Structure 1
């Protein structure tokens, strides 16, 4: 079947066109970009009436919610267009400004930028790009490396000045000198905030593609080169150019996958001959190969008619012979292929590419025979009952997703248990089994320590796939905090929390072994790589956590509430306003868990999910969750079911979740009766 698909021409335009435009635009930037080291010398009293720029993460970020906050706390919001461009009126606003761009698809972490002052002498709009590089500048203006602090008006007014911004840019440019020079950008003149650019993998955009600005293990932001993700530089007011190493240039140009992406676009549009150029004959990814639909089946949303590939971001390179994946011996890389789907939503497909022996690259996949994903998570957990309130905490660890055969045709129908061994886990690893509850389509971790595969059909009552390797008290509860794991949860909570010294290295590999219901091994063990940065719970302090509606807490999560009885559906509302501004990440999933926490008790747990992109009114959100509907949207109850009543021995949990840079975030409220 032919797909209506085309490559985004912006990503493949010639470098000559870009360079000609850049020369012209850099001249204009020198005449009036806010936050730069240049100052206007004209005696004209003209001033800009608007501010604008490009929101990009390597490719343009279309549909981003861009919020400008001024020094008095006023805010204005705009939406970026298809090219990532935005414009905001400056009428009634007072510099300095901070800009926050949130990805409506929940793919990218919030981006930040700053402008110290509005120049005079020209009416040309102030330029303020919002990218990972401008986020790195903003992080250097805070003591903890968390740009969210700048959304507080008092902090913004005190910490963002022409001097502080220029110093942060100078430090960043020194750190990036090798990468800037390799891409034809002058380290002494580059200003990531006010120099216009085009997201086309050349010049400044190639620099963005060459680095990662992500949350550090203990919070705050850090920057690293994609060629050496283990060498990261912490970004805060203490960051020093003289004390920081310069980041290494990646081994290939930022545009090295241009031909591959073009061939993939042609392949998905119906040009069969292009498929062999884009996709390796040995492609295998999470159980999908040429025998069962291959790339198109596994990455169905990307491959659907109407989706447009917009670019790629390399996470890590491996030299020939260094790939952690079996059967890959050539130079390879773990990449995200960005695309906009037919609904206009920005997303990415994670995959592995390798050199093809002819000077190019093709998609080979992660060589996993079954569908398993391992990624980092951070959560905020709040208990609403008095007996557990002393355990309010942040947690971090690994999310281990193993879909059941009903949700993933490639996983065995007789799957009885799964063992996962690797960094940050107990010496014997952790085990997952089918859930005792209803309304979820993935295996869950065991509540107990398991030393070998069960030889009979077994279920687990933990009903969680999150292994907690560290935790700490919420800032508001440090004086009353009293939590320690016990024998009833030792299967999914570490006996001793990890520290910065014991945390796994980036892109750690895990060995995953499947067993059937008799305890016999199924196939060969898999190698699964965590494609996200390992985190400690301190990283949660930089998150703009949402606030659950008081009506949900009082009516649905309280035994005396008006909705404490069994409910077939539940309306969940929350606020995304933090520091008086609508800057929380957009929630893309809601889960309700209701029932007991043990498989032997009654009533058994019933889960329900809502997934999507919520509609908002000034940062206030509301969605309905139906009992028994799993995360794939399928009703799992064979007969009508409800969330059990919140009575003695029963718990209820409401969880808001979203993703950013592949990391999963969970905001949890729970009542244990």
Structure 2
């Protein structure tokens, strides 16, 4: 998590003005010209920190001026970078591309100010500066600022100030709580250190989502109600900024109610790295393909509560067995765990949804999502936080999905589709389940019903059966778990909506502003139409976005593989049904899971 970052953030560069010295003779004698002093070269710099809370170490940082002159460097281990901009012309756009939190991403920053000879200007490149760039764009696309015409037209000092002032207004309470001065705070220009105060604490606290409807800012340290605690609980505290409201921004986010510096899982990053420094055979004990115990440095990892742990019905060894026994994870390096949001249970316990990012020895990246809880009071040597899983009995998930592809039936035209993926795995306690109803944001009020697919051989695969809430269904010939919300062709032509399909909303969703991060979805599990076995809630980390936003997504990155591929035990990497070929179908060649 960002709380355990071990990076040093940029020190200020002091540029001294050096004048030539002339030696003078004494005693009334004539001046001795001596050897003239050499003038120090004039240094004109843009420098700053590329970070998302954790440093964007190794990121490729590119600065481009309004004339297209471009310079590139690499961010240091602390995320710091420095570029000589002598002779270049404002406004500038800075991009930082690399891997952070197990995800490949690009952050953007804009500087409208001129940098005079001998001057140094600070330009941080973070999710907050990316939000500013997005709000300068008519399409909410921060990468629009890399278009020189748009950079010149939009990144004027007055426009940038208006957006920065709006962001400062919305974040005022969060900035004050961090110990910084809200009046002088500037996400782009403020110097900060990685001491979990000031801008660093703000980056820990605020999660940024750039959507088709604007920039969503979520306070991760103002706990939301636990999934099971209160069906009417409000979502995570958030504010939406748009091009239309930056002049009169909405009210400020509430201050964090739990300090980021107190949410710490003891030595977890260090211990995980020691564990995965071992070869797979030296990390675990197995009976056949099943992990039964830990070995060596893995055995002493104490950030998990082994007895209490349960994630979607799995034990600790079942849930992490795939990673632990995978030789491809030999030498993997785990980054600082990230707190996505905090949760308060009905009993008042503090929980955190966390992401554990890692980078494999071959350079590929991934992450694990999990849940931690403060299970004991903090002491001088123990924070009291442990990873315990989500405590659900069933393997379920709701994920925002976004597809880009071409359909041979439509002359290969590029199309975009936005929707939700509804997952229910027929294992464990689900052996006698035949119907599952899912309700929540974007789904019909009556609910989407999942049933066992008759096209999948063993019928152990649940697919969408109907969108009417009809529980009389006992099986479905369908194989899809997706529920489409909107679609759009890249060329703007009319998109044919399959309103009669159970996998499509009755009409395309046109207003996505109601979707918020950490949306809450209800699962009702039935043995039969009249025999409800269980009822519980889960959350979708990301909110879906409109398909019409697709053309502006070029260059944006999300996780490119479903979460379960990354973290399920090897013996059940995917509960996947591949139906027999039935002829030409739409070919979706790229899909993102947004989390």
TM-score by length of 2: 0.73
Question: Secondary structure of the equivalent of 1:657?
Answer: strand
Matches within 5 A, 1:67-466: 67-73=62-68, 75-87=70-82, 90=85, 94-104=89-99, 107=103, 110-117=106-113, 119-122=115-118, 126-216=121-211, 218-226=212-220, 227=222, 230-240=236-246, 243-258=249-264, 260-263=265-268, 265-266=270-271, 269=275, 270=296, 275-276=301-302, 278-279=304-305, 281-290=307-316, 292-293=317-318, 306-321=331-346, 330-359=349-378, 360-380=384-404, 382-386=406-410, 394-402=416-424, 418-426=436-444, 427-434=446-453, 436=455, 443-446=462-465, 451-452=470-471, 454-455=473-474, 458=475, 460-461=477-478, 463-466=479-482
CA contact (8 A) 1:355 1:361 kept: yes
CA contact (8 A) 1:49 1:89 kept: yes
Shift of 1:111: 1.7
Mapped to 2, the partners of 1:30 and 1:520 lie a distance apart of 80
Shift of 1:432: 4.8
Shift of 1:183: 1.6
| Larger radius of gyration between Structure 1 and Structure 2 | 2
1:476 aligns to 2:491 (yes or no): yes
Note the aligned Cα RMSD (angstroms).
Answer: 4.5
Superimposed CA distance per residue, residues 233-267 of structure 1 (whole angstroms, 9 cap, x where no aligned partner): 33344444754312222112222233x14146437
Shift of 1:144: 4.4
Aligned pair in 2 of structure 1 residues 307, 388: CA closer, same or farther (>3 Å)? closer
Superimposed CA distance per residue, residues 150-179 of structure 1 (whole angstroms, 9 cap, x where no aligned partner): 121101012213443344333322322222
Superimposed CA distance per residue, residues 635-669 of structure 1 (whole angstroms, 9 cap, x where no aligned partner): 999xxx9x97xxx9423514113445x1xxxxxxx
Mapped to 2, the partners of 1:162 and 1:275 lie a distance apart of 51
Cross-structure match for 2:553 = 543
Mapped to 2, the partners of 1:386 and 1:176 lie a distance apart of 46
Aligned pair in 2 of structure 1 residues 104, 58: CA closer, same or farther (>3 Å)? closer
CA contact (8 A) 1:67 1:99 kept: yes
CA contact (8 A) 1:202 1:254 kept: no
Mapped to 2, the partners of 1:339 and 1:28 lie a distance apart of 36
Aligned pair in 2 of structure 1 residues 9, 138: CA closer, same or farther (>3 Å)? closer
Aligned pair in 2 of structure 1 residues 66, 264: CA closer, same or farther (>3 Å)? closer
Mapped to 2, the partners of 1:257 and 1:302 lie a distance apart of 32
Superimposed CA distance per residue, residues 341-383 of structure 1 (whole angstroms, 9 cap, x where no aligned partner): 4444454322222221323322221112232221112334544
Mapped to 2, the partners of 1:540 and 1:130 lie a distance apart of 24
Mapped to 2, the partners of 1:446 and 1:80 lie a distance apart of 50
Question: Secondary structure of the equivalent of 1:250?
Answer: coil
Mapped to 2, the partners of 1:154 and 1:91 lie a distance apart of 22
Superimposed CA distance per residue, residues 412-454 of structure 1 (whole angstroms, 9 cap, x where no aligned partner): 678766443333323132315448479xx97543478672365
CA contact (8 A) 2:396 2:425 kept: yes
Question: Secondary structure of the equivalent of 1:197?
Answer: coil
Mapped to 1, the partners of 2:181 and 2:216 lie a distance apart of 23
Structure 1: gaps spanning 5 or more residues: 1-6, 32-43, 322-327, 545-582, 591-610, 613-629, 663-673
Superimposed CA distance per residue, residues 197-216 of structure 1 (whole angstroms, 9 cap, x where no aligned partner): 34453331111111121124
Q: How many residues align?
A: 526
